[in-house]
Amino acid sequence: MVSAAAPAVADTIILTDGQKITGTVVGMENGSFRVETDYGVALIRKDKVARIEVAKGSTPAPPAKAPDKSADKPSEKVIPKPAPRPAAIQPRRPPSGHMEEHVDGTTYFNDSFGFQMYKPPGWKPLPETSGTIPSAVVVLGTEDEATVMIVGTVLFDGPPAVYAATITDSLKRVYPDFEMLPGEQTEVAGHPAARCGFTGSSAGRAWHGMIVNFADGQVQYALIGMTSEENYQFKSTVLGKIVTSFRLR
């Protein structure tokens, strides 16, 4: 992820769920606000924005103290201290140095990161394809990789929308004609979550998929399911079942 310099004057975007994102609104893209933040460019759907508090200018520095004529001393200027920068998004690594996971019947268990989810019959872990998303820790999919579910997780004390924007940027590099579809609010593992769809094509194949983001404190997750266009009607139900089954241990 490429970090952008902090804007001198920032807008505050208030989301419908009460979260706040600080950055500079620079335009619209496919029905979403394009916002430059400290963590890169975020695309925030217009229907998820409650209001935008537009900055009118920087806060002036406090006036200098009046000179003490009796002591004939020069006045001292008060220099405001810069606000501390929020923590950056940090990828998570297996505590033991290698991934610890196992499968019991139709349930996949990730022992390193403490989560589990439904594993459809015939699916298997595909570690060689996890490079699609930089923060991915596991990929489950069919033998021909025509349908996959990617789980990404990071440490980040900020709005899930910022992490979602980094996922979107990664997918845009994989699918040149990547397009986001309307989303909705849902719930995963007992936490509020945002779910949206997407389409794109790569290697001569059209793809459909979904991105689901939620946070458990400072630990944030992204579930990215995708399947080939010809399998979408059936496989979208399977991907939805995997998301619904996701549990933290």
80 in a structural domain: no
Answer yes or no: do 43 and 103 share one domain.
Answer: no
Measured CA to CA, the distance from residue 72 to residue 69 in angstroms comes to 5
Phi, psi of 211 (to 5 degrees): -125, 125
242 in a structural domain: yes
Provide the CATH number for the domain around residue 107: 3.40.1000.10
Answer yes or no: do 146 and 37 share one domain.
Answer: no
Answer yes or no: do 100 and 176 share one domain.
Answer: yes
70 in a structural domain: no
pLDDT tens digits for range 74-90 = 555 566 655 555 568 89
Average pLDDT, the chain: 82
State which residues form the domain around 18: 11-53
Percentage, residues of the chain above pLDDT 90: 45
Answer yes or no: do 119 and 234 share one domain.
Answer: yes
CA dihedral 146, 206, 33, 136 (to 10 degrees): 20
Domain count, the chain: 2
pTM (2 d.p.): 0.66
pLDDT tens digits for range 200-232 = 988 788 899 999 999 999 999 999 999 988 888
Answer yes or no: do 23 and 107 share one domain.
Answer: no
78 in a structural domain: no
Average pLDDT over residues 140-148: 92
Provide the CATH number for the domain around residue 31: 2.30.30.100
1 in a structural domain: no
Residue 206, Ramachandran bin (φ over 0: left; ψ between -120 and 50: alpha; else beta): beta
